[in-house]
A and B are shown apart, each in its own frame.
Chain A
């Protein structure tokens, strides 16, 4: 079983739609939960992150973590064609030898069409 499961999609939505992207994980030691965005032929770039459980909002983006159900979500409001990319969840532990290791989901390919 993979430590992080993410539906690869692809997901296609019209401009202005609300997008919901999700991951589940199995490692209870994960404390930081990152969302990366990756455009074609580029490296991943950090979109936002949360520490432990809760919500975090940044403009049109909201990240949620429910540690009780080991569920990670990213919501995009008023989606734009420029949001078309692959979205990757990437949790990690705190402390220990592997504190720097990001464990990526497979990524969800999102297309927002005008």
Chain B
């Protein structure tokens, strides 16, 4: 079974440009999450999809970030326009159904996209 895949693995763009990151979750996983880690900081939650709906987008830093998950399969995260502080590693994760009491569904992480804004 293929794991979570992310594309590209590395992206270098100039300030003001647009970048789109893609995540393909594990097949059959309804839950998809975006996280990011900026240099020297902890990994921070961005948002959570359940199928194609946004369950929780409390971690999105501002309106320059747009996440979509059309059809409930893969997801894209667009940054427009990119700023220097957006540099970091963006992780995607997926998990099965919403947990029942006492049953935890593991979030499987992809390898991340390393974004560098110059």
Give the interface of A toward B (CB within 8 A).
2, 4, 6, 32, 36, 41-46, 49, 51, 88, 90, 94, 97-107
Using C-beta atoms within 8 Å of the partner chain, give the interface range for chain B.
20 to 34
Is chain B's binding surface mostly helix, strand, loop or mixed?
loop
Could you tell me which residues of chain B, from 20 to 35, have a CB within 8 Å of some CB in chain A? 31, 33, 35
Cβ contact within 8 Å between B111 and A42: yes
Cβ contact within 8 Å between A101 and B43: no
B42, B58, B99: which contacts A106 (Cβ < 8 A)? B42
Please measure, in the bound complex, the distance between the C-alpha atom of A88 and the C-alpha atom of B109, giving whole angstroms.
13
Q: Chain B contacts of A4 at CB under 8 A?
A: 42
Is chain A's binding surface mostly helix, strand, loop or mixed?
loop
Q: B43 — nearest CB in chain A belongs to which residue?
A: A104
Cβ contact within 8 Å between A41 and B111: yes
Q: Chain A contacts of B35 at CB under 8 A?
A: 102, 104
Say if the beta carbon of B87 comes within 8 Å of chain A. Answer: no
Cβ contact within 8 Å between A100 and B31: yes
Cβ contact within 8 Å between B42 and A104: yes
Contact with A along B1-38 (1 / 0, CB 8 A): 00010000000000000000000000000010101000
Cβ contact within 8 Å between B102 and A51: yes
